[in-house]
Amino acid sequence: MKKDKIISKTEDLVYLTLSILAILFIIIETVDLMYIFYKEVSRFSFASERPLGLSGVPIFFNIIITLEILETFKNHHNTILSRVKIILLIAITAVVRKVITIDIKHTDYFLIISIGILTLSICVGYYFLSKKENVE
């Protein structure tokens, strides 16, 4: 019994430490994203041929993924089913980030098919977990 309590307290301490680091990461990334956005918008002109850059998209998805991870930490005492669902949501977000930032012209079609199959399988897994949670 005492061993379980020590493990639980240690787990809580690790979650707290990681949560603080994740919040600091989110703050830094948000400031960086605002700076990149300001730089891109200040250089943008309708007269120029140069489109508005998408250099902030990976940073945006880093923030979204970190927020999802924080959600996992917040609910770490919930059921294993909800933990797995949150992890699958993080995986979906990470794969979508890759899809958005991928250069289609220079990518092998096997990689594109693999990413599609991966996305579909994660989404199907999430769907079945959601159905199971609604039944219980």
- Residue ranges per structural domain of the chain: 2-135
Taking CA atoms, 106 is separated from 58, 59, 69, 102, 121, in Å, by 19, 22, 31, 9, 25
Would you state the pLDDT for residue 70? 83
Count the residues in the chain.
Answer: 136
Per residue in 32-83, pLDDT (tens digit) is: 999 988 888 787 666 666 666 667 778 888 898 888 788 777 766 667 777 7
**What is the amino acid identity at position 54?**
L
Residue 133 CA to residue 77 CA, distance in Å, equals 16
Per residue in 80-108, pLDDT (tens digit) is: 777 788 788 888 888 887 787 787 788 88
Contact in structure between 34 and 61 (CB atoms under 8 Å): no
Q: What are phi and psi of 48, to 5 degrees?
A: -80, 160
